[in-house]
Amino acid sequence: MKGGKSMAEVVQREPENRIGMEFNAEKYKTDFPILSRMIRGTKLVYLDSAATTQKPRVVIDAVDQYYRLHNANVHRGLHTLAEEATAAYEATRDKIAGFIGGVKREEIIYTRNATEAINMVASSWGYQNIKKGDRIVITQMEHHANLVPWIVLSRKTGAELVYIPIDPEGYLDLADLKDIIAPNTKIVALTHMSNVLGTINPVDEIIALAHKRGAVALVDGAQSVPHMPVDVRAMDADFLAFSAHKMLGPTGLGVLYGKEELLSRMEPVQYGGEMISEVRYDYAAWNELPHKFEAGTPNIEAAFAFLPALEYLEKIGMENIRRHEMELTGYALDKLAGLEFIKVFGPKDLNHRGGAVSFIDKNIHPHDMATFLDTLGIAVRAGHHCAQPLTRLLGVNSTTRASLYLYNTHNDIDQLITGLKEARRYFRYE
């Protein structure tokens, strides 16, 4: 290293180690500048973390610090800035590898988001391994990111696309799983946690059966990795996809984990700089893992700022975050159950659900409800949540969703409940 410090070394380390301490969401809230913002005269109540999380000050400062002190391209230069940028970029890869269970750094591929990670598997592994007569298995609760790529792949290859159904309570119905994951199954792709129902799926059991059939398993961890401990090695997933922006990090950075033996046999899906080892006018050879899948200049800023985001989560403790969200989700479900005009979707058992709570008012359209709540400074999401087939299956065309994270409090839920009641009066249903 030529003088100076790497970006990994110079990023401020916040907050203090809080593992084992009483969970103080009000204190954590102060780490997020945007949560002090006033919306139409009211302090913001942010209940849309399933779409994207807010960023703590340490992440915001890291973005500024990167551009002020360390801006350079990675893997390309010998000057101090380039070496600092490369060191920090790769330090984040090491941190990610440890965060999901201590996998090899070569098994961590940077992408733009979880969607691109899943598409990469479908476009590379899928077209290399799936043909007419094969079976692709997904579930009825998938986000479009883990649905549309498989629809397209099945259409183009002639493979059969089969769904694991859901039951009326929002759980996967596994009664016929052995028939669904048939011997001709090549891949099982499923969400770990539903972004609509909050359901936490028994991925270990499903992956074990997939492997018995000789199939590989992809897990969409976009909603699980930010909210609970995830050990991909214990899970034995062949692929895992998730996004930085849903776990306090910047937008524009995703992660694909893949087992080394699978990634080594897969072809790149983008070509250009950095992903090559040698190029001639009539020949090109690919770089080693993970670089053969990372063509062109990456989102260095996001990788730099994702490191303090991961450290922030680790210092709080993913177990502590999970316990806090379980308690807060239970509180929200109890409060919503007391409103006779509200119908909530998804499991009631907190051991099998996360903090994405979707519901409808029996009279008020979800878009109208979200718009009204915004006048009170309450940010929720309304729509099909990029899961149109699932919302149709639920018998609705959209829902209102309140989604929780480490910075949410009982008071946030109380304000939501008050807002739902005020909406009834505003629209003259009471």
Cα gap 390→197, rounded to integer Å: 9
Count of residues in the chain: 430
392 is known as an active-site residue: no
Q: Are the C-beta atoms of residues 100 and 241 closer than 8 Å to each other?
A: no
Q: How many beta carbons lie within 10 A of that of residue 268, not counting itself?
A: 19
Pull the structure tokens for residue 259: 């087992």
Phi first, then psi, for residue 248 (nearest 5°) are 80, -10
In the set 72, 81, 162, 386, the catalytic residue is: 386
Cα gap 402→333, rounded to integer Å: 11
Instruction: Give the CA distances from residue 203 to residues 170, 237, 374, in Å, rounded to whole numbers and listed in that order.
Output: 15, 8, 36
Cα gap 322→317, rounded to integer Å: 9
Give CA 77 to chain center in angstroms: 33
Cα gap 342→283, rounded to integer Å: 63
Where does 100-147 have alpha helices with state H?
A: 114-121, 127-129
Query: E strands of 76-206, at which residues?
Result: 108-111, 135-139, 160-164, 185-191
Please list the active-site residues: 386
